[in-house]
Amino acid sequence: SGVSKKLSEAAALKKQANAKKSELEVDYSKRNVQLNNTKNSLNTNKQRRRATQKEIDELEAQIRQIINQNVSVG
């Protein structure tokens, strides 16, 4: 009958929708992992940059110290 045809169509559509939902959830998970990896590497880069900047500051301080010593000697 027409009713059972409609019911089976509805069931098929529901199955399709569930499959699509699963697919989207997997996609979302993958993107989330990528996003977290990107955030982590960004943070790592920031930490490296800070450490490098600290080294640069220390070297510049040493250079100033040497220059000041030479100026006062000279």
pLDDT tens for 9-18 read 999 999 999 9
d(CA 60, CA 67): 10
Check residue 73 and give its pLDDT. Answer: 75
Query: What pTM value is reported for the model?
Result: 0.61
pLDDT tens series, the chain, 74 aa: 899 999 999 999 999 999 999 999 999 999 999 999 999 999 999 999 999 999 999 999 999 999 999 888 76
| Integer angstrom CA distances of residue 41 from 1, 11, 36, 66, 68 | 60, 45, 9, 37, 40
Check residue 74 and give its pLDDT. Answer: 61
The residue ranges of every structural domain in the chain are 1-74
Ramachandran angles phi, psi of 25, nearest 5°: -65, -40
Q: Is 1 helix (H, G, I), strand (E, B) or coil?
A: coil
